């Protein structure tokens, strides 16, 4: 059965069928999925019902498993993160972000699996940062290119500690020393496609360098708000067994915090390069 993809929106996202993620991919299947990921940025595979070991094995076919800068109290292995929530508002995922952008080399992709879902709610939205950048005026695009911004672990880790999801021995100061603030381009260039994408987010980006504090405090919220346009987005509803694979370099995501029943997700990230 050939691999097929059905677009979710004209801007981002596709649902993929014709492949069993529990089995090793053939070279042709791997190449096709890589091609679809570059084209659609976010791929959803329905009805997979794979184990965490199979999820890790699937991810590993596309790269090296990323180091986790901090873990929650739920996982038993450094190769994945468990997101186990009942009251998710304000935990951090309900804000547009790219995963772990505070790392010097953020993960290039992530594989997320739904293991337990509330009766209703808990969708995930994804946004195309190529489109967000291209949606800015030419003068704004020209101004942003060449600028850098600071990304810091403090805010997302503090939220994990405050909400009780971090490990009991989580040490904010030690994490800050291990993962000092990173400087990344405000507009990054994708290493494969060569396309330019906006690369700031409200979870981790603290200021834009080269601007005055007042200028940064005005421009950064504008860019974060710009990403919220539905023109750049798609939205996936989960089923247990759904697996979503996305390119973290030109994509941000938002976990909709509209549920009050337990939701358990498993995420495996792939090690990336320094943004340029």
Give me 74's structure tokens. 């739920």
The residue annotated as part of the active site, out of 40, 91, 99, 165, is: 99
The SS3 of residue 139 is: helix
The SS3 of residue 236 is: strand
Contacts of 28 (CB under 8 A, 6+ apart): none
List pLDDT tens digits, range 111-159.
Answer: 999 999 999 999 999 999 999 999 999 999 999 999 999 999 998 888 8
Q: Phi and psi for 140 in degrees, rounded to 5?
A: -65, -45
Nearest Cα to Cα of residue 222 among 247, 237, 205: 205
Q: What is the residue-averaged pLDDT of the chain?
A: 94
Residue 229 vs residues 141, 224, 234: alpha-carbon distances, Å? 17, 10, 11
Residue 169 above 90 pLDDT? no
99 is catalytic: yes
The residue annotated as part of the active site, out of 40, 97, 151, 263, is: 97
- Residue 167 is predicted with a pLDDT of 64
The residue annotated as part of the active site, out of 40, 151, 165, 267, is: 267
List pLDDT tens digits, range 3-33.
Answer: 999 999 999 999 999 999 999 999 999 999 9
CA distance 7 to 12: 8
CA distance 51 to 53: 5
List pLDDT tens digits, range 193-213.
Answer: 999 999 999 999 999 999 999
List pLDDT tens digits, range 76-119.
Answer: 788 999 999 998 888 778 999 999 999 999 999 999 999 999 99
- Residue 157 is predicted with a pLDDT of 84
184 is catalytic: no
Element (H, E) at 197: strand 196-198
How big is the CA angle at 132 (ends 11 and 226), to the nearest 5 degrees? 125
List pLDDT tens digits, range 39-56.
Answer: 999 999 999 989 999 999
Domain 4-270 annotated CATH 3.60.130.10: yes
CA distance 189 to 77: 32
The residue annotated as part of the active site, out of 184, 188, 253, 263, is: 253
List pLDDT tens digits, range 218-253.
Answer: 999 999 999 999 999 999 999 999 999 999 999 999
Q: What mean pLDDT is predicted for residues 247-272? A: 97
């Amino acid at each position: 059965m050939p691999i097929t993809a059905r677009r979710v929106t004209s801007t981002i996202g596709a649902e993929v069928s014709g492949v069993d993620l529990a089995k090793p991919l053939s070279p042709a299947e791997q190449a096709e999925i890589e091609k679809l990921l570059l084209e659609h940025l976010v791929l959803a595979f329905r009805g997979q019902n794979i184990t965490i070991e199979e999820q890790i094995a699937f991810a590993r076919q596309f790269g090296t498993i990323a180091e986790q800068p901090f873990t929650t109290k739920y996982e038993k292995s450094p190769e994945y993160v468990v997101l186990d929530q009942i009251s998710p508002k304000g935990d951090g995922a309900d804000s547009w972000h790219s995963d772990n952008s505070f790392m010097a080399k953020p993960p290039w992709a992530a594989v997320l699996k739904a293991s337990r879902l509330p009766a209703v709610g808990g969708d995930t939205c994804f946004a195309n940062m190529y489109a967000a950048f291209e949606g800015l005026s030419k003068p704004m695009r020209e101004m942003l290119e060449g600028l850098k911004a600071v990304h810091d672990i403090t805010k997302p880790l503090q939220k994990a500690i405050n909400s009780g999801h971090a490990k009991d021995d989580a040490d904010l100061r030690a994490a800050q020393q291990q993962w000092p603030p990173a400087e990344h381009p405000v507009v990054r260039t994708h290493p494969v496609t060569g396309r330019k994408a906006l690369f700031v987010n409200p979870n981790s980006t603290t200021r834009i360098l080269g601007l005055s504090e007042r200028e940064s405090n005005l421009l950064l919220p504008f860019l974060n708000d710009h990403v919220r346009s539905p023109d750049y987005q798609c939205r996936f509803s989960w089923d247990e067994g759904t697996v979503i694979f996305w390119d973290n370099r030109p994509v941000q995501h938002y976990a909709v915090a509209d549920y009050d029943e337990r939701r358990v997700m498993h995420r495996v990230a792939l090690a990336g390069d320094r943004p340029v």
